[in-house]
A and B are shown apart, each in its own frame.
Chain A
């Protein structure tokens, strides 16, 4: 069965600090990988996705993630966070063919302080 681990439950950063959120998955085949963001009181929005090709993917709002197949990882990065990045971030995976349910990690809460 697929599973996703997000290592950090809560991350607190000052504005302009760099961000890296860890995500590791467990699955025996080829996968699609996603990062979703949930701003306070809102629904989930897609930040970025990896299906195939260049393992470094760029998403909205300056976020990027790198797929490292050998490490089963898909870490999310941003070079300089802003207060408006305060949100909860979820990593998710499904099989490349899409015929398995999307499995989410437990989420990482990011608090950015001025």
Chain B
């Protein structure tokens, strides 16, 4: 089954404790991206990757890192999480020609 998976689905952590949210897709998509969803703000793109070893900042990259060492994986790294990064995070993947995005199930992160 074609899908985007994320882990963990729920995470409660403390300020400053490094964490990684994994994202994996099995559709051989070139394009992957991370979004955060906050009430009243919709979805905002954090980082995206057009292909392996190619990443770029989205609208709200501060406090986040990503890597794309393999086509199927696109982990999101929070080196020093802060409470303002409490949010619902979605990973998505897509491919040419129209880049219709397929979304993962989401990761609800709470930073205390």
What residues make up the interface of A, taking CB atoms closer than 8 Å to B? 9, 32, 34, 36, 42-46, 49, 51, 90, 92, 94, 96, 98-99, 101-107
Contacts and interface: CB of A to CB of B under 8 A. Distances in A.
Contact of B100 (A9, A49, A106): A49
Contacts, number: 55
Nearest to A108: B42
Nearest to A9: B40
Interface in B15-53: 31, 33, 35, 40-45, 48, 50
In the complex, which range does the number of interface residues on chain B fall in?
Answer: 20 to 34
Interface of B: 31, 33, 35, 40-45, 48, 50, 58, 90, 92, 94, 96-101, 103-106
Given A44-B90, A98-B96, A104 B103 contact: no
B61 to A, nearest CB: 12
A101 B58 contact: yes
Contacts of A105: 42
A101 B43 contact: no
B98 A51 contact: yes
Nearest to A32: B98
Contacts of A49: 98, 100
